[in-house]
Structure 1
Amino acid sequence: MIDFIRQNVLSHFGVNEGSAKISPLGNGHINHTFLVLSVDREFVLQKINTEVFKTPTALVNNAHKISQHLQGQVAADEYRLQVVSPELTLDGELFVDLGEHGFWRAINYLPHSHSIDVVGCEADAEMAAKAFGHFSSALSGLDAELLEDVIPNFHHLPGRIELLTQAVEADSYGRLAECLQWVDFVMSQTELLQELAELEGKLPHRICHNDTKINNMLFDKRDMSSLAIIDLDTCMKGYLMYDFGDMVRTFCSPEEEDSIALDKVQVRESIFGAICKGYLSELGSVLSDAERKSLWLGARVICLMIGVRFLTDHLNGDVYFQIHHAGHNLERAANQFTLYQSLLSQQEVLSKFL
């Protein structure tokens, strides 16, 4: 792919193919991401997965609107993080559409940046949660309806369970027998679905990040302070309880989300408390009472739902998430369901932080 980028993509961004160094960047599941270093500039180049993002122009347009708003907040001294912004093509466009050869976009590279995949201490959890809260607070003045839905019903648990049901019924790859215990577990979570249904229509739509993993907050490696919120691909209107939930999902376990050491996958109480402290310090005055009460539900829903998505993809032949070996998505699913069970077992203790 790197040779293709040299020959067909770089020129659109004004880079000579012979003068650039291209290397893979990050470990995302969906898009292909590269760091481009040329003589006088450096930027991040992405090939957007158009099987996942059916309307990629909506993705880049949303990111541009968010970038413009945050730049305005910076100018007004109301946003203290750096801003991820698009790098335009020579024609002044936000993207290059090469048809069957890919939909490409570039964004600015932030020097001195560093990311982590597993939270090691309460201070890191609080700092990252505070950064995500600050990001959402800064966007509270931007009308959520101005953004398009890049993936409709992205965080809709009943819809995700229906897709799992369809995958189970089809069992196209003969994988059902090896994961039947997890399918039965998902289908038994009727109380959670009822609790979610009772909240319908009671929360305001806000602009949400929708992928608040720890590695989507960059640290400044010079002093390990928070530097920027990145990966705006799934930013669209939604409920902030899901941003909170994804932090819980990705911060609280001492194991990565594909670890098979399930006996070590658990919610660390101190990390959960640090998330609550950091997030609410920025959003406490923004959230309505109903939103604040919804955060505990969001944590449970997200952990279960991501597990459902991994399990569905496993049954469907691994068409959504990139895998590195056979059974990878099933391992991820088991990991997330185990984390969800840990949440349930500690409900009385953890919910007090909220």
Structure 2
Amino acid sequence: MLTDVQQIQQKILPHYLPESQLACAALTVVPLGNGHINQTWLVRTMQQAFVLQQINTQVFPAPWAVVENADLIARHLQQQQQVGSYALQITTPVRTLDNALAVDDAELGFWRAISCISDSHSIEQMRNPEQARQTAFAFGSFAAAMAEFDAKQLQETIGDFRNLAARMRLLTQQIQRDSHHRVADCQQWLDFAFSQQHVLAEVAEIEAKLPLRTCHNDTKINNLLFDTRQQPRAVVDLDTCMSGYLMYDFGDMVRSCCASVAEDSTCLNDINLLPDYFAAISQGWLQALAPMMTHVERDSLWLGVKVVTLMLAVRFLTDYLAGDCYFRISHDGHNLERAINQFTLYQRLLEQESQLQTLICS
């Protein structure tokens, strides 16, 4: 649902701001970020600033779970911060004037507000290996700070989010429906996806040995805020935080930060994983988490890289067949281009496997 600023000011902001701030000429509401899923605005008055977000309830059918999880995580991180076990800043829910975590408006949908961290910015693309190390250390520090939190307290915000077997089943369903007559456009990549089903057995075997952790599940660099010195300042976007396995957070970080080109690039010959970035991410991740990780968790990291890359390729392809209803697209065929890009990256991973695996332990 597209919402204009006037609607936000008339219907949503009165839940958060007193009349004196609503009527002030200094009030501004401007779009923020370029996420695939939710719509986000930065709200400023003379007295305060906060992030206002409309939750996409097609993607998050239980939006109260999203905001309640975020509240639990923020409370735990604040406790860790107070005892010196978490050095990053924390984004916290901004409650309504009635002390609610969100606004569920019959016309405009589900809205929540989050604290704004001043003098910070996000980065869309990794610039050098040191930044890769810092990113991994920040996400690793988040995971380490959540280690004592009972992950089972978190509600599921997206079902089977990191479940490759479930993702393959959804792909099969879309093939059978072929409601948009697109199967013929991508038969080569469908064949390749199903040729990799042997990975499912490897995943099932190792998951049975892994401890359940609180996982961020979207460990891209643009989900970090940086300060003016280009140092990581806060981990943000907790919408997909759920119980899970650390190999997937590591894998998603590598997939998104170490690829040589953007995930929708059509220059397939240029796609590969950058070894120096991969080594830096491995170093930062283990620097933050090595003391608490089990041997099996450490051994699972490379599998996490492969599975997350393959899984995202399958998700892009499934969404293409379904009519592009999950990921935002900028042109026809965008999700197919993304899928081909990620399948190609996955193929490069297999080619680079022996070289890259050794870098995790170096």
Is this a same-fold pair by TM over 0.5? yes
Pairwise TM-score range, normalised by the shorter structure: over 0.9
Counterpart in the other structure of 1:282: 288
Q: After superposition, give the CA deviation of every residue in 1:257-303 in whole Å (9 maximum; x if it has no partner).
A: 11222222210011110110000001001111111111110000000
Which of 313, 320, 329 is the equivalent residue of 1:314?
320
Choose from 5, 11, 17 the match for 1:8: 11
Q: How does 1:55-74 map to 2 (within 5 A)?
A: 55-74=62-81
Letter in 2 for 1:22: V
Q: Pairwise mapping of residues 187-202 of structure 1 onto structure 2 (< 5 A)?
A: 187-202=194-209
Q: Which runs of 5+ in 2 are unaligned?
A: none
1:85-104 C-alpha deviation (Å, 9 max, x unpaired)? 01110000110000242100
Deviation at 1:197, TM superposition (A): 2.2
- Corresponding residue for 2:246? 240
**Aligned-residue offset at 1:116:** 1.6
Q: Which runs of 5+ in 1 are unaligned?
A: none
Q: Secondary structure at the match of 1:154?
A: coil
Deviation at 1:208, TM superposition (A): 0.3
Displacement of 1:75 after TM fit? 1.2
Pairing partner for 1:178 from 185, 189, 196: 185
Letter in 1 for 2:242: M
Letter matched to residue 10 of structure 2: Q
The code of the aligned residue for 1:94 comes to L
Q: Deviations over 1:139-196 (max 9, x none)?
A: 0011101111111211000100110011111110011111111111100003322211
- DSSP-derived class of the 2:189 partner: helix
| Residue 154 of structure 1: aligned partner | 161
SS at match of 1:277: helix
CA contact (8 A) 1:43 1:109 kept: yes
Q: Say which SS state the counterpart of residue 346 (structure 1) adopts.
A: helix
Contact 1:241/1:298 (8 A) holds in 2: yes
Q: Give the 3-state SS of the residue equivalent to 1:89 in structure 2.
A: coil
Residue 26 of structure 1 deviates from its aligned partner by 0.8
**1:179-238 Cα deviation digits (max 9, x unpaired):** 111111100003322211222411111000000011111111x21111110000000100
CA distance in 1, matches of 2:29, 2:342: 34
CA distance in structure 2 between the aligned counterparts of 1:175 and 1:70, rounded to whole angstroms:
46
Match of 1:12, as an amino acid?
A: H
Task: Please give the alpha-carbon distance, in whole angstroms, between the structure 1 residues aligned to 2:201 and 2:85.
Answer: 39
Alpha-carbon separation, structure 2, partners of 1:200 and 1:34? 38
- 1:52 equivalent to 2:52? Answer no
In the alignment, which residue of structure 2 is the partner of 1:214?
A: 221
- Give TM-score, length-normalised by structure 1: 0.98
- Tell me the number of residue pairs that the alignment of Structure 1 and Structure 2 aligns: 353
**In structure 2, which of residues 257, 265, 281 is the aligned counterpart of residue 259 of structure 1?**
265
Aligned to 2:41: 34
| TM-score, length-scaled by structure 2 | 0.95
Separation in structure 2 between the aligned mates of residue 47 and residue 165 of structure 1, nearest angstrom? 31
**Of 43, 46, 59, which aligns to 2:50?**
43
Partners of 1:83 and 1:323 lie apart in 2 by 31
The SS at the match of 1:141 is coil
In the superposition, relative to structure 1, how do residues 17 and 299 fare at CA in structure 2: closer, same or farther (>3 Å)?
farther
Equivalent residue in structure 2 for 1:21, among 5, 13, 28: 28
Matched residue, 1:350: 356
- The 2-side partners of 1:75 and 1:197 are apart by 38
Equivalent pair of 1:140/1:206 in contact (CA under 8 Å)? yes
Amino acid at match of 2:42: L
Q: Tell me how far apart the structure 2 counterparts of residues 64 and 225 of structure 1 sit (CA, whole Å).
A: 25
Q: 2:304 aligns with which of 278, 298, 305?
A: 298
Q: Whole-Å Cα distance in 2 between the matches of residues 174 and 21 of structure 1? A: 45
SS at match of 1:113: coil
SS in structure 2 at match of 1:218: strand
Q: Which amino acid aligns with 1:197?
A: A
One-letter code aligned to 1:337: F
Offset at residue 17 of structure 1 (A): 5.7
Q: How large is the Cα RMSD of the aligned pairs?
A: 1.1
CA distance in 2 between partners of 1:148 and 1:282 (Å): 26
In structure 2, the CA distance between the partners of 1:110 and 1:185, relative to structure 1 (3 Å rule), is: same
Q: Partners in 1 of 2:213 and 2:48 — Cα distance?
A: 35
- Whether 1:231 aligns to 2:234 is no
2:279 partner letter: G
1:323 equivalent in alignment to 2:317: no
